[in-house]
Amino acid sequence: MQFVDGHEDVIADFISAFNSRDDRVINLRHCKTIGVIDNEGKLIAGIVYHNYDPDAGVIEVTLAATDRHWVTRATLRRGFEFPFIQCNCQMIYTRVRSDNEYLLGMLARLNFSFTLIPRMYGRAEDGVVCTLTDDQWLEIPVVKKIYSTMKLKQLHQLEEAA
């Protein structure tokens, strides 16, 4: 698998088309994207970072995939580096339909917290806001090994600058 950066329109369109069932219009302007390309050169997954609030250190993540095999250590690493390392966010969040058991299960394994929001997708459909703080992210065993030292150094530099 390969990653594609800098094609925000193509990847945002991929996500929007994939989520056509979603009545909510996702504002994907001024976003950052990462595309995941399979070995045949086909776009199989996209991650869109949007609704960035640098003062709060929070960014929303929307993703879509046509192939469940896109989730690898490399894609997870790449997907979390942008918000937590490059943007220095303290929390990311995503919105998921409450009946999407596959995605909610995956996010649970990645240490996300969940808040059920009744009627989030309309009168008959509940949603879940899934959040992951940088502290929760650093508790994932594989992440703990790689990033804890790096993140602590960044936090220390911010404290010194303040």
What CATH number should be reported for the domain holding residue 70? 3.40.630.30
Residue 84 pLDDT: 92
Q: What are the pLDDT digits (tens) for 100-132?
A: 998 899 899 999 999 999 999 899 999 999 999
Query: Residue 24's pLDDT is what?
Result: 42
The pLDDT value recorded for residue 69 is 80
> Distance of CA 26 to CAs 17, 48, 93, 110, Å?
11, 10, 14, 24
* pLDDT for residue 6: 67
pLDDT of residue 29: 55
pTM: 0.76
How many domains does the structure of the chain reveal?
1
Q: Does pLDDT of 25 surpass 50?
A: no
Confidence of residue 159 (pLDDT cuts 50, 70, 90): confident
d(CA 18, CA 23): 12
Nearest to 137 by CA among 81, 94, 86: 81
Q: pLDDT tens digits for 27-54?
A: 555 678 888 888 888 888 888 898 889 8
> Residue 54's domain spans which residues?
2-161
